[in-house]
Chains A and B, each alone.
Chain A
Amino acid sequence: DAGVIQSPRHEVTEMGQEVTLRCKPISGHNSLFWYRQTMMRGLELLIYFNNNVPIDDSGMPEDRFSAKMPNASFSTLKIQPSEPRDSAVYFCASSLRNLHDGYTFGSGTRLTVV
């Protein structure tokens, strides 16, 4: 099992550009989560999906952020347009729904917006 796979690992972009982060969850896991990590705010939940359906997107900071899960094996988090304050490490995690097995996190995407 390759675990949760995120790409890219690092992204540097200019303010105003569109950024797309990608995630492949563990096969068989039917819950997927996007978190953002900063020194000031820690790990913040942005959005999560159960069976590819968005359940709670109340953590998405602004309309500039959007997330999709077109199938059970792929999800994207898009920021358009990006701003310097979006600089953070973005993590994707997956888990089996209704089982308290914990989450498996990917290695994250470090985003820097200059």
Chain B
Amino acid sequence: QQQVKQSPQSLIVQKGGIPIINCAYENTAFDYFPWYQQFPGKGPALLIAIRPDVSEKKEGRFTISFNKSAKQFSLHIMDSQPGDSATYFCAARGANQAGTALIFGKGTTLSVSS
């Protein structure tokens, strides 16, 4: 119940393509769903986050789609660029618990070719 399952493990797209990364969860107590971006040699950095009261959130070229009934959420990267090549992690956290921590998916390595 505490897992967040992420797919695919790796993804290769051409510049301008729209990579989509999917995540699924079981714990209905989760109510905060961020995505993190990690470049080699660096720590993960918060990219965008969503709460389950909305079905979509956009920030620049990055969009989260959220399906509460299916317990799934996904990251879409519009007009992908070579600089977007990185590892992406989805995560989830419950809110109504005294002190909770993010549970991360296993990551998706994205390569955008020019």
Chain A interface residues toward B at CB < 8 A: 4, 31, 33, 35, 41-43, 45, 48, 50, 55-56, 91, 93, 97, 100, 102-108
Contacts and interface: CB of A to CB of B under 8 A. Distances in A.
Given A42-B89, A56-B101, 18 more contacts: A31-B99, A33-B101, A33-B102, A35-B104, A42-B104, A42-B107, A43-B106, A43-B107, A45-B104, A55-B99, A97-B99, A100-B95, A102-B34, A102-B49, A103-B44, A105-B43, A106-B43, A108-B42
B102 A45 contact: yes
A100 B51 contact: yes
B102 A100 contact: no
Contact of B99 (A4, A43, A50, A91): A50
A56 B95 CA distance: 15
Interface residues of B, number: 23
A56 B104 CA distance: 16
Question: How would you classify the secondary structure of chain B's contact residues: helix, strand, loop or mixed?
Answer: loop
A42 B43 contact: no
A106 to B, nearest CB: 5
B54 interface: no
Nearest to A41: B106
A43 B44 contact: yes
B99 A107 contact: no
A106 B43 CA distance: 6
Interface in B19-40: 32, 34, 36
A103 B93 CA distance: 12
A105 B104 contact: no
Interface in B88-114: 89, 93, 95, 98-99, 101-107
Contacts of B34: 102
A105 B45 contact: yes
Contact of B106 (A35, A42, A107): A42
Given A48-B99, A50-B99, A103 B104 contact: no
A48 B99 CA distance: 9
